[in-house]
Amino acid sequence: MKFGKRIKEQIQESLPEWRDKFLRYKELKNLISSPDPAEFIFIGLLNSEIEKFNAFFVEQEEDFIIHHKVLQYRIQRLVEKYGDNDDETFREEIGEIRKDIVNFHGEMVLLVSYSNINYTGLAKILKKYDRRSGGALRSPFVQKVLHQPFFKTDLVSRLVREWETTIDAVFPASNAEAERGYERSAAVSSAAAGEGIFRNTVAALVTMREMRRGSSTYSALSLPPVNLYDLDLVLQPIHIPSPILS
Amino acid sequence: MEARPVQRSGSMVLSNLTRTTTSIPSNPSTGEESFTRSDNTQFISKPLGQQTYHLLSSNNNGAVGHICSSTSSGFSTNLHYSSMASHERHGSSSNDTSWCHDSPHGGFLDFPEASHVEDGGIGSAFDDIQKPNDWHEWADHLITDEDPLLSTSWNDLLLNTSSHSDSKVQIPPQAHQTVQQQPSPSVELRPVGTTSSSSNNGTGKARMRWTPELHEAFVEAVNSLGGSERATPKGVLKIMKVDGLTIYHVKSHLQKYRTARYRPEPSENGSSEKKLTPLEHITSLDLKGGIGITEALRLQMEVQKQLHEQLEIQRNLQLRIEEQGKYLQMMFEKQNSGLEKGTASTSDTSAKSDQEDKKTDDSKELVSEETRNSQEPESSQAKRTKTR
């Protein structure tokens, strides 16, 4: 019950184009609860879901690869153009790039999160199926899933980490810039663009924490609770709207 | 749900099953993954999508290009077949073992064969690509009361799936789409998969899995042709000289590339958010407006980093859990099969039990192996050969 609710919330918080790409957990659960769930139907549905994940994931990944290069190029051009000049337009443009980097980073992380949520959902639904049917479908099926394109997130993770390193170079050394007026103009568009990603990210973190809090079926094979100590410190001074944190 | 004629269901099932028997070209085993398989699954006769994933060149983990397409539909139907067949056999071995033996792929539990578990790209035998466009429709096709009929069809099919061509011949063309196999080349010098082209013609896109290296090659080709506006897919394809890369791949990639260049913003997702009224969002969310943009960005970045880190941790845990489970299951089955054959696990035990049966005076000799040397050589020798 809990996962179903969580994934639903996660989907609601996710970027609009993504919303129909997630696992149809509830439908699958209903299928399992139905009087005579044929195994091949169940498996067929899972397969089609997996294909959906693969298609979406690979496409997003392609977009990311392209954008990755474009962003690098932009930074390079900017540095070449302005050299060491620290004038207004330079700061504006670098502010733009900064925002774009952060949002890009965020989107990639969300794709990794997408992959993980769907994997988790698959594993859970298989577990439910086995419980109901008395079979042992789960383990071999999961083995198969581990080799699916959508599960192999290494490339995206690598890009994520690259940008985490790069952003340090692009962020200002001090907070003095925060008080400059020119930031106001950037604030508007940035807030709007980043907000969706930001909310989504926070929602994903909360989902993860809640899911791993322990359940009635908690066992030796379950994941341990999430250690989000640092995150709580980060989020504390911010008033996050309650729907996300409930 | 509409009622569907059993026949049609049968053929659907048949065509579904073909996918399992799509031949797996032999892979030059480079110790890395070099699977080449493409599979095309269209459960309903509609314009098909041929889902093939080419992973070209290597990303960080040096994965070879490969095509992930799959027979998990095959896998699934094997499962179904197995579980149904085992019912028919009136409770023979457990489902687990019947999977193993019945699968035309020699058992998905043969892990060394079927799975090179490294990160970054493996065309496992059990990747599945199946694409019913609407699962309701799909489910309709499958729902039939004629279980015996179904299993019979599957029985027949599986018995005859010793060779790729056989299975293909059997399949009514109705819903069956092409199986096209392409090699998965590597831009970065990794020899990859075999090339074989199916006799059937597949229209439709084989999905390419791009990598930064491949993309760089793409960009170079585009630049050498005078830029993204001037370059043509054909020209780029020719310059890149990457096996398995089709003009469709290049075309769609070029399109994406052009869009990205001329609108260098975060992807659509980001920009669509921008269409929302910015002011409303700022006033409703203190966190961004109140603390300044740089700080907001920093915070956002921090949260994102946390999420990513947690995801990686979670993923590793999940992988470990599955590995453990897999290992335990294998051990369990080994144990089971050992017990079933009726052999004891140690030769000592068997020797002892034999001795007990024989009731000879010399039985004492074998009980203590340490004293064997001191026994009369001939008699102990005889004993040993008797009791194996």
Q: List, for residues A30-81, the tens digit of each pLDDT value.
A: 999 988 888 899 999 999 999 999 999 999 999 999 999 999 998 888 888 8
Give residue B20's pLDDT: 42
B99 vs A59, A98, A140: nearest CB: A140
- Indicate yes or no: CB of A41 within 8 angstroms of CB of B142: yes
- Put simply, whether B269 touches A (Cβ < 8 Å) is yes
B window 184-213, beta carbon within 8 A of A = 207-212
Do A61 and B306 count as a contact with CB atoms less than 8 A apart? Answer: no
Closest residue, chain B, to A39 (C-alpha): B80
What are the φ/ψ torsions at residue B51 (nearest 5 degrees)?
-95, 105
Name the CA dihedral angle for B16, B20, B24, B30, rounded to a multiple of 10 degrees: 120
Q: What are the pLDDT digits (tens) for B121-169? A: 433 444 444 444 445 555 554 444 444 444 444 444 444 444 444 433 3
Range in A29-43, A92-106, B189-203, B362-376 with the lowest mean pLDDT: B189-203
Count other Cβ atoms within 10 Å, centred on residue B104: 20
Write down the pLDDT at residue B53: 52
**Confidence band, pLDDT 50/70/90 cuts, at residue A172:** low
Who has greater pLDDT, B201 or A133?
Answer: A133
Give pLDDT tens digits for A135-165: 888 988 999 999 999 999 999 999 999 999 8
Provide the 3-class DSSP secondary structure of residue A240.
coil
CB atoms B77 and A40 under 8 Å:
yes
User: Looking at CA atoms only, how far is residue B31 from chain A in angstroms?
Assistant: 16
Q: Using pLDDT thresholds of 50, 70 and 90, give the confidence band for residue B192.
A: very low
Q: A148 vs B68: CB contact, 8 Å cut-off? A: yes
Partner-chain contact A47 B253, CB within 8 Å: no
**Chain B residues 70-99 with a CB less than 8 Å from chain A:** 70, 72-73, 75-77, 79-80, 83, 94-96, 99
Closest CA to B179 of B208, B199, B193, B209: B199
Is B286 an 8 Å CB contact of chain A? yes
Kindly report the pTM of this predicted structure.
0.59
Q: What is the pLDDT of residue A236?
A: 58
Which of B1, B307, B319, B336 is most worth mutating to test chain A (most A CB atoms within 10 A of its CB)? B307
ipTM: 0.84
pLDDT value at B81 more than 60: no
Residue-level pLDDT at A233: 59
The tokens for B312 are 């990686």
pLDDT score of B263 more than 70: no
Question: Which chain A residues contact residue B295 at CB under 8 A?
Answer: 175, 178
Beta-carbon contacts of B183 under 8 Å, excluding residues fewer than 6 positions away, are B36, B192, B193, B194, B195, B243, B244
- pLDDT confidence band for A234 (50 / 70 / 90): low
Indicate the average pLDDT of chain B.
56
Contact B59 A63 (CB under 8 A): no
Q: Tell me the residue type at A161.
A: R
- The rounded distance, in Å, linking the Cα atoms of A49 and A61 is 18
Give me the pLDDT at residue A225, please. Answer: 74
Local confidence band at B336 (pLDDT 50, 70, 90 cut-offs): confident
CA distance B32 to B121: 9
pLDDT at A129: 93
In sequence order, what DSSP letters do the residues of B130-156 get, joined into one string?
Answer: ---S-HHHHHHHH--S-HHHHHHHHHH
In a mutational test of the B interface, the residue from A21, A51, A76, A130 whose CB has the highest number of chain B CBs within 10 Å is: A51
- Stronger pLDDT, B247 or B332, i.e. the higher one: B247
Q: Give the residue with greater pLDDT, B38 vs A58.
A: A58
CB contact under 8 A, B273 and A119: no
CA distance B14 to chain A (A): 13
Q: Which of the four pLDDT bands, split at 50, 70 and 90, describes residue A113?
A: very high
* pLDDT confidence band for A25 (50 / 70 / 90): very high
Q: What is the pLDDT of residues B16-35, one digit of tens each?
A: 444 444 444 444 444 444 33
Give chain A's largest Cα–Cα span. Answer: 72
Are B125 and B24 within 8 A, CB to CB? yes
CB pairs under 8 A between A and B: 339
pLDDT at position B319 is: 92
DSSP notation for B27-65 = P---SS------B---SSSSS---B--EE-S--TT-PPP
pLDDT of B231 reads 92
Residues of chain A with C-beta less than 8 angstroms from the C-beta of B83: 39, 135
Min Cα distance A66 → chain B (Å) is 6
Are A29 and A4 in contact, with CB atoms under 8 Å apart?
yes
In this prediction, what percent of chain A has a pLDDT beyond 90?
Answer: 44
Q: Are B311 and A211 in contact (CB under 8 A)?
A: no
Most confident range (mean pLDDT) of B16-20, B247-251, B328-332 is B247-251
The closest alpha carbon to B180, from B163, B162, B201, belongs to B201
298-327 of B, contacting A, C-beta below 8 A: 298-308, 310-312, 314-315, 317-319, 321-322, 324-326
Q: What is the pLDDT of residues B94-111, one digit of tens each?
A: 444 443 344 344 333 334
Q: Which residues pair with B55 in a beta bridge?
A: B209
